[in-house]
C-alpha cells in the first residue's frame, strides 16, 4: 500500500513549522523591487507567436446602452499582409491577415542550441509568413461604405500584393497597382466603387471555387471546426484527413448552393435553391418590420408557430394521422392556418411569424440537401453560410430533417466559421503565401477580449489597445449578464413539416446567435509549432487525462474562481501595484470570470475544451491585460534561496553510492515539486515555513512505496540492465522555478550527464504560474555551474555559458570533453503541455532522444499521464490536489507518482 503523506505534511508544518512567513509571500504582498521590475520586462520578451496588436485610438461608437456597439479602430498599425472579400447579396465577409512583428534577434544560446540540434538547413518549409493572425469581419452589403471605411481606416491595403503572384510583404504598393481578391456577386457589381473609393482593383475569384477551398481549408487546418447539433446538443467531430471526401457542401447564404466535393479543387455544383437566408430575411422584414437579420432571428426564439402553421392535428381534429406516421403536432402546411382565419398580418405575433418562417426554410434546406446526398450516395453534409449563425434551432431543424428522412444514415454537420467559407477561399487563392500547406497544429485559436463580448458587430480585430480593452471590459461588466445569460425561451408546441416530427430540442438551453459569435476567435498562425515526433500515435493522442464533464467542470470552475483573488493580487503586485495595474487586474478578473461563465453555460463553446485549455485560458487572459509574469518576484526569491543550498545538496549526494544517490535524486524531484503556486493546498503550506524548511520536510516524508512506484524498474534500467549503454539524450521537461528545478531537476540532470547522457532541459516559452521559462534557465544554470564542474562543463559544451561565466576562474581546463547540457523552449505558455503543438526547437531536440522525463502535475498528471511515446518515459509528480488524487489513483493529496514506461 502506498504511503500517505498528506496528514504528516499538514501536521509537520502546522505544528513543527517555525512560523516564519514564506519569503516569497512577503515579497508578493508588497510592490516588487525596481530591480525585479526591470528583470520582468527585460528578461521576458513577448512571445513572437503571440504579439499584441497596436490599435491605439480604438473607439467604441455608440452609447453604453447599445447592445452591439460598433468599434472602429482607426490607427491599426499592424503589418497587414492580405485581405480578401466575399461580397454577397446580404453580407460582405472580409478575411484579413495581420502579420506578427519580426522575430526578435536570436540570442547566442538559441543559435548554439539550434546548431547542436542540427536545426539549420533542417529542410523545413520556410513560410513567407512567419506568423500572424487571421481575422474575420462582416458587414451588411447595404452598408458597403462602412466596409470601405474600415479597409481604408485600418490601412488594410498597405501590405496587399501588387501583381498577385509577387507578394511584397511590406511596402504599400501604389494604390493603382493594388489588386485584392474578391468573390461573390458583389465582386462584379461593386468593382467600380472599390476602384473609385479605394483605388484598388478587385480580382474576381469563382464563388464555388472559393466556397470549396475555404471549406477544405477549415476542415483540414482547424481542429474543432465541424460539429453536429441535435436536440440542443453540440458535439465536435474529429475529421479524418484521409477520409474526408466525398462530401456535400451546402452553403446557405441569401440563396443556397449545393456542391458535391470530391477533393481539393474537385467539385460540382449539383443543385441549389432560391429559398435561403435572403428569403427568410426578406419575408421576415416585410412581415415583422424587424431592422436586422439578427433581430428577426432573436424574435423567433420567443415564437410559437402553431398559431400560424397548419398542423396534422388541425386537420384531424386533434388526432394523429398514425397510418403514415404523422403526429398531431406535425406541420402539415407552413403558414397554412392563416388561410382559414379571417385575420390581418397585424393580428399575428411577429415572434410566431419569424419562427414559422425559420422552420419552413430550415426544413426545406435540410430536405433538399438530404435528397441530393441520397442522389450521390453521400453520408456527410456540411452546412455553411451566414444563415445558420450558430443558431441552435436552425441547426437542430436542419439536422432533424436530414436525420429523419435519411433514417439516421446521413449526418448534418456545421462549421464554426460557417459564414466565411467564400472569403477564406478567396484569401487562399493568393498564391505563394504558404498557407495552403498548413496543418491543424499550425493554427491556434485564441479568444482575445474583443472577440467574446460582441453581439455580432465588431468592426475590426479584437481590441489590441489595452485601454480600449479595459473600457470594453468595464462596459461588459454592465452588459455582461445580458450577454452571458441563456436566452429564455418557451418550448414551441409544434414544429414539423411534411412528415417531420418536431425536434425534441431542450428549448430552455438553446441560445441565440448573440453569444454564438464567441465561437469564432482569431486564428493565430504559428508555423513554428510541430507535432512532437516521439508521440507513439499522434492521431489517437489526447493530452487531457480527465474529461471535463459537467461535474468536473463545476469543480474546476470553483477552484479557479477561488484562486482568482490571490492570483490577481500577485499579478497587480508584479506590475508595481499601480492604479493602472489595479485597473488591468479588475479587467482580467472580469474577463476570465466571463469566459468561465460562458463555458459553464456551454462547455463546448470554444471547441473541445479540457483542463489543460482551461489552465491556459487563465494565462492567456493575464497576458491579454499585459501581466507579463505575475509570479516573477516569487520565482526569483525561490531561485535564490534554492541556489544557496544547492552546493550542500550536491556534496551530500556525492557521498552516496550510485544506487542510494539515484533514489535520493528521484525523491528530491518529487519532494521539490511541492513548490507549486497553482495549488491552493500548497500555497497554504507556504505560510507555515521557509522554502528550505518546507523542502526538508517534504523530503523527509518521502516514504516509499509511492502511489505509483516504478523506481526499481528505472533503477534497473539505469544501473543494471544497460549500464554500459547509457541513454543517448534525455529530454527533461522541467516545471516550477525555485527548489523544483534547482534542487530537484538540476541534480537529476547532473546525474544523467555523469552517465554520459546528453541532457536537454525543456521549459516553457512563456510564463505560467511559477513555472520556470526557457529564458530564465541559462542564468540559473550559470549560477549552479559556479559550484559544480559537471554542470559547468556540460553547460559550456551546450553553449549555455556564453558570457555568464566570464570572470570565473577556469579550473576545468583539462577535464575531459563533456556531453552537452542544453535548454530548449517548448512553445507553450501553460502549466500543461499538448504534444501536438510544440516548438520546432523541441521537435528537433526529440530526434535523438531516447528518454523523456516529464515532471509536475500539469505536464505529467493533468496531461500526458496516459500518453505513450516512442522512447522510454519517466513521469514524476507530486499530486497536490485531493480530488485528483482520489480520482486518478484512489489516493491522497501529496501522494507521489513515479511512472516509468520503457519501450521494451
Residues that bind Mn ion (CB under 5 A): 735-736, 771, 831, 856
d(CA 888, CA 499): 49
**Coil, strand, or helix at residue 590?**
helix
Rounded to 10 deg, the angle between the 466-484 and 579-601 helix axes is: 30
Least distance in Å: CB of 648 to ligand PAZ?
Answer: 25
Give the closest residue to 638 by CA, choosing from 735, 753, 764, 775.
Answer: 735
Residue with CB nearest ligand PAZ?
678
If phi > 0 it is left, if psi is from -120 to 50 it is alpha, else beta; for residue 155 that is left
Nearer to Mn ion, 682 or 718 (CB): 682
From ligand PAZ, Mn ion, none, which one binds at residue 615 (CB under 5 to 8 Å depending on kind)?
Answer: ligand PAZ
Contact 789, 751 (CB under 8 A): no
d(CA 778, CA 789): 16
**Coil, strand, or helix at residue 384?**
strand
Residues numbered 698-737 forming contacts with ligand PAZ, rule: CB under 6 A: 735-736
Nearer to Mn ion, 473 or 861 (CB): 861
Burial class (CB in 10 A: 0-12, 13-18, 19+), 496: buried
Q: Residue 252 forms beta bridges with which residues?
A: 256
Nearer to ligand PAZ, 830 or 837 (CB): 830
| Choice from 615, 752, 843, 846 touching ligand PAZ (CB under 6 A) | 615
Which among 62-70, 171-179, 679-687, 814-822 is the span making contact with ligand PAZ, rule CB under 6 A? 679-687
Q: Does 676 bind ligand PAZ (CB under 6 A)?
A: yes
d(CA 628, CA 584): 12
Nearer to ligand PAZ, 69 or 610 (CB): 610
Contact 654, 662 (CB under 8 A): no
Q: Does 610 bind ligand PAZ (CB under 6 A)?
A: no
| Choice from 364, 679, 785, 818 touching ligand PAZ (CB under 6 A) | 679
Helix (H) or strand (E) holding 397: helix 392-405
Nearer to Mn ion, 758 or 771 (CB): 771
Least distance in Å: CB of 880 to ligand PAZ?
Answer: 6
Which among 285-293, 304-312, 402-410, 855-863 is the span making contact with ligand PAZ, rule CB under 6 A? 855-863
Which among 237-245, 324-332, 528-536, 673-681 is the span making contact with ligand PAZ, rule CB under 6 A? 673-681
Least distance in Å: CB of 631 to ligand PAZ?
Answer: 11
Least distance in Å: CB of 884 to ligand PAZ?
Answer: 7
Nearer to Mn ion, 90 or 736 (CB): 736
If phi > 0 it is left, if psi is from -120 to 50 it is alpha, else beta; for residue 682 that is alpha
| Count of residues touching ligand PAZ (by CB under 6 A) | 18
Nearer to ligand PAZ, 680 or 696 (CB): 680
Residues numbered 353-372 forming contacts with ligand PAZ, rule: CB under 6 A: none
Rounded to 10 deg, the angle between the 691-700 and 632-654 helix axes is: 50
Q: Residue 91 forms beta bridges with which residues?
A: 140
Residues numbered 541-570 forming contacts with ligand PAZ, rule: CB under 6 A: 559
Nearer to ligand PAZ, 53 or 599 (CB): 599
From ligand PAZ, Mn ion, none, which one binds at residue 264 (CB under 5 to 8 Å depending on kind)?
Answer: none
Cell of 604: 463546448
Nearer to ligand PAZ, 428 or 674 (CB): 674
d(CA 861, CA 856): 7
Least distance in Å: CB of 679 to ligand PAZ?
Answer: 4
Nearer to ligand PAZ, 223 or 883 (CB): 883
Nearer to ligand PAZ, 60 or 681 (CB): 681
Least distance in Å: CB of 308 to ligand PAZ?
Answer: 53
Nearer to ligand PAZ, 821 or 876 (CB): 876
Which among 565-573, 597-605, 674-682, 803-811 is the span making contact with ligand PAZ, rule CB under 6 A? 674-682
d(CA 605, CA 399): 19
Checking 356-359 for CB contacts under 8 A at 24+ apart, the result is: 356/303, 356/305, 356/308, 356/309, 357/280, 357/283, 357/284, 357/287, 357/300, 358/280, 358/297, 358/300, 358/393, 358/394, 358/397, 359/305, 359/309, 359/331, 359/334, 359/397, 359/495, 359/497
Contact 877, 736 (CB under 8 A): no
From Mn ion, ligand PAZ, none, which one binds at residue 312 (CB under 5 to 8 Å depending on kind)?
Answer: none
Residues numbered 825-854 forming contacts with ligand PAZ, rule: CB under 6 A: 831
Least distance in Å: CB of 736 to ligand PAZ?
Answer: 5
Nearer to ligand PAZ, 152 or 561 (CB): 561
Least distance in Å: CB of 779 to Mn ion?
Answer: 19
Q: Looking at 108-206, list the stretches that DSSP marks H as alpha helix, in order from N- to C-terminal side.
A: 108-116, 144-153, 186-189, 191-198
From ligand PAZ, Mn ion, none, which one binds at residue 277 (CB under 5 to 8 Å depending on kind)?
Answer: none
Hey, how many other C-beta atoms are within 10 angstroms of the C-beta on 555?
15
Least distance in Å: CB of 749 to ligand PAZ?
Answer: 18
Least distance in Å: CB of 768 to ligand PAZ?
Answer: 8
| Choice from 223, 479, 680, 715 touching ligand PAZ (CB under 6 A) | 680
Give the closest residue to 309 by CA, choosing from 267, 265, 341, 283.
Answer: 341
d(CA 447, CA 473): 14
Q: Which residues contact 539 (CB under 8 A, 6 or more apart)?
A: none
Nearer to Mn ion, 304 or 771 (CB): 771
Bond into 156 cis (ω within 30): no
Least distance in Å: CB of 840 to ligand PAZ?
Answer: 24
d(CA 488, CA 486): 6
From ligand PAZ, Mn ion, none, which one binds at residue 673 (CB under 5 to 8 Å depending on kind)?
Answer: ligand PAZ
Residues numbered 446-505 forming contacts with ligand PAZ, rule: CB under 6 A: none
Give the closest residue to 247 by CA, choosing from 239, 811, 453.
Answer: 239
| Choice from 858, 896, 899, 900 touching ligand PAZ (CB under 6 A) | 858
Cell of 378: 453521400
Place of cell 486564428: 523
d(CA 378, CA 267): 13
Q: Does 856 bind ligand PAZ (CB under 6 A)?
A: yes
Nearer to ligand PAZ, 685 or 749 (CB): 685
Which among 67-75, 142-150, 421-429, 857-865 is the span making contact with ligand PAZ, rule CB under 6 A? 857-865
From Mn ion, ligand PAZ, none, which one binds at residue 820 (CB under 5 to 8 Å depending on kind)?
Answer: none
- The DSSP call for residue 730 is E
Provide the CB-side half-sphere exposure for 36 (13 A, CA): 23
Residues engaged in binding ligand PAZ (CB under 6 A)? 559, 615, 673, 676, 678-681, 735-736, 769, 831, 856-858, 862, 880-881
Amino acid at each position: 500500500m502506498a504511503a500517505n503523506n498528506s496528514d504528516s505534511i499538514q501536521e509537520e508544518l502546522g505544528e513543527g513549522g517555525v512560523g516564519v512567513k514564506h519569503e516569497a509571500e512577503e515579497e508578493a504582498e508588497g510592490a516588487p523591487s525596481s530591480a525585479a521590475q526591470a528583470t520582468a520586462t527585460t528578461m521576458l520578451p513577448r512571445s513572437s507567436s503571440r504579439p499584441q496588436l497596436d490599435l491605439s485610438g480604438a473607439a467604441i461608437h455608440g452609447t453604453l446602452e447599445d447592445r452591439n456597439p460598433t468599434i472602429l479602430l482607426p490607427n491599426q498599425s499592424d503589418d497587414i499582409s492580405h485581405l480578401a472579400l466575399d461580397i454577397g447579396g446580404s453580407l460582405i465577409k472580409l478575411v484579413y491577415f495581420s502579420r506578427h512583428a519580426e522575430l526578435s534577434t536570436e540570442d547566442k544560446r538559441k543559435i548554439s542550441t539550434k546548431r547542436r540540434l542540427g536545426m539549420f538547413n533542417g529542410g523545413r518549409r520556410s513560410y513567407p509568413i512567419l506568423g500572424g493572425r487571421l481575422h474575420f469581419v462582416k458587414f451588411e452589403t447595404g452598408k458597403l461604405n462602412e466596409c470601405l471605411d474600415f479597409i481604408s481606416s485600418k490601412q488594410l491595403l498597405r501590405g496587399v500584393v501588387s501583381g498577385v503572384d509577387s507578394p511584397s510583404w511590406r511596402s504599400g504598393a501604389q494604390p493603382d497597382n493594388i489588386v485584392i481578391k474578391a468573390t461573390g456577386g458583389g465582386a462584379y457589381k461593386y468593382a467600380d466603387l472599390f476602384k473609385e473609393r479605394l483605388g484598388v482593383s478587385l480580382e474576381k475569384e469563382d464563388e464555388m471555387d472559393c466556397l470549396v477551398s475555404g471549406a477544405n481549408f477549415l476542415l483540414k487546418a482547424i481542429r474543432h471546426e465541424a460539429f453536429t447539433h441535435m436536440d440542443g446538443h453540440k458535439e465536435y467531430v474529429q475529421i479524418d484527413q484521409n477520409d474526408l471526401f466525398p462530401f456535400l457542401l451546402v452553403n446557405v447564404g441569401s440563396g443556397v448552393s449545393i456542391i458535391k466535393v470530391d477533393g481539393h479543387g474537385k467539385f460540382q455544383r449539383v443543385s441549389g435553391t432560391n429559398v435561403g437566408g435572403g428569403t427568410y430575411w426578406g419575408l421576415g422584414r416585410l412581415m415583422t418590420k424587424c431592422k436586422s437579420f439578427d433581430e428577426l432571428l432573436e424574435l423567433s426564439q420567443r415564437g410559437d408557430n402553431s398559431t400560424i402553421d397548419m398542423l396534422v392535428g388541425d386537420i384531424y381534429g386533434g388526432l394523429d394521422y398514425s397510418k403514415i406516421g404523422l403526429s398531431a403536432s406535425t406541420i402539415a402546411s407552413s403558414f397554412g392556418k392563416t388561410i382559414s382565419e379571417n385575420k390581418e398580418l397585424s393580428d399575428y405575433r411577429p415572434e410566431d411569424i419569424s419562427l414559422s418562417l425559420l422552420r419552413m426554410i430550415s426544413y426545406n434546406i435540410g430536405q433538399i440537401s438530404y435528397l441530393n446526398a441520397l442522389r450521390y450516395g453521400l453520408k456527410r453534409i456540411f452546412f455553411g453560410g451566414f444563415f445558420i449563425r450558430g443558431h441552435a434551432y436552425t441547426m437542430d431543424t436542419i439536422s432533424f430533417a436530414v436525420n429523419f428522412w435519411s433514417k439516421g444514415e446521413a449526418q448534418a454537420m456545421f462549421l464554426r466559421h460557417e459564414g466565411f467559407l467564400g472569403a477564406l477561399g478567396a484569401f487562399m487563392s493568393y498564391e505563394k503565401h504558404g498557407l495552403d500547406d498548413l496543418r491543424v497544429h499550425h493554427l491556434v485559436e485564441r479568444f482575445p477580449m474583443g472577440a467574446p463580448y460582441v453581439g455580432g458587430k465588431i468592426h475590426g480585430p479584437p481590441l489590441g489597445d489595452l485601454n480600449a480593452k479595459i473600457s470594453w471590459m468595464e462596459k461588459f461588466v454592465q452588459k455582461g449578464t445580458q450577454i452571458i445569460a441563456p436566452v429564455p425561451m418557451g418550448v414551441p408546441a409544434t414544429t414539423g413539416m411534411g412528415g417531420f416530427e418536431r425536434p425534441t430540442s431542450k428549448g430552455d438551453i438553446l441560445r441565440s446567435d448573440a453569444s454564438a459569435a464567441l465561437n469564432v476567435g482569431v486564428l493565430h498562425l504559428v508555423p513554428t509549432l510541430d507535432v512532437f515526433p516521439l508521440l507513439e500515435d499522434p492521431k489517437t493522442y489526447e493530452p487531457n487525462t480527465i474529461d471535463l464533464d459537467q461535474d468536473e467542470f463545476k469543480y474546476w470552475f470553483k477552484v479557479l474562481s477561488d484562486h482568482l483573488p490571490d492570483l490577481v493580487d500577485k499579478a497587480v503586485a508584479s506590475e508595481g501595484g499601480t492604479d493602472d495595474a489595479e485597473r488591468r487586474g479588475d479587467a482580467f478578473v472580469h474577463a476570465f470570470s466571463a469566459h468561465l461563465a460562458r463555458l459553464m453555460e456551454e462547455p463546448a463553446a470554444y471547441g473541445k475544451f479540457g483542463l489543460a485549455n482551461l489552465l491556459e485560458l487563465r494565462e492567456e487572459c493575464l497576458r491579454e491585460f499585459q501581466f507579463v509574469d505575475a509570479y516573477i518576484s516569487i520565482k526569483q526569491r525561490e531561485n535564490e534561496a534554492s541556489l544557496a543550498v544547492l552546493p550542500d545538496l550536491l556534496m551530500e549526494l556525492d557521498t552516496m553510492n550510485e544506487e542510494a544517490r539515484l533514489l535520493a535524486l528521484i525523491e528530491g524531484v518529487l519532494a521539490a515539486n511541492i513548490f507549486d503556486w497553482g495549488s491552493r493546498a500548497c500555497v497554504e503550506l507556504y505560510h507555515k515555513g521557509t522554502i528550505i524548511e518546507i523542502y526538508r520536510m517534504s523530503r523527509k516524508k518521502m516514504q516509499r512505496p509511492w502511489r505509483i512506484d516504478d523506481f526499481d524498474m528505472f533503477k534497473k534500467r539505469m544501473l543494471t540492465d544497460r549500464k554500459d549503454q547509457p541513454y543517448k539524450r534525455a529530454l527533461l521537461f522541467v516545471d516550477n522555478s525555485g527548489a523544483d528545478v534547482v534542487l530537484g531537476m538540476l541534480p537529476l540532470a547532473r546525474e544523467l550527464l555523469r552517465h554520459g547522457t546528453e541532457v536537454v532541459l525543456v521549459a516553457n516559452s512563456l510564463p505560467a504560474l511559477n513555472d520556470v521559462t526557457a529564458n530564465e534557465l541559462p542564468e540559473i544554470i550559470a549560477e549552479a555551474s559556479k559550484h559544480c564542474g559537471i554542470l559547468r562543463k556540460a553547460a559550456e559544451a551546450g553553449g549555455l555559458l556564453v558570457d555568464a561565466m566570464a570572470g570565473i576562474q577556469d579550473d576545468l581546463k583539462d577535464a575531459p570533453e563533456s556531453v552537452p547540457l542544453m535548454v530548449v523552449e517548448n512553445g507553450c505558455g501553460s502549466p500543461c503541455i499538448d504534444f501536438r503543438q510544440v516548438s520546432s526547437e523541441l521537435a528537433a531536440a526529440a530526434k535523438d532522444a531516447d528518454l523523456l522525463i516529464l515532471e509536475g502535475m500539469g505536464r505529467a498528471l493533468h496531461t500526458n499521464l496516459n500518453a505513450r511515446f516512442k522512447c522510454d518515459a519517466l513521469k514524476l509528480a507530486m499530486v497536490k490536489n485531493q480530488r485528483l488524487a482520489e480520482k486518478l489513483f484512489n489516493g491522497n493529496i501529496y501522494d507521489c507518482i513515479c511512472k516509468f514506461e520503457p519501450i521494451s
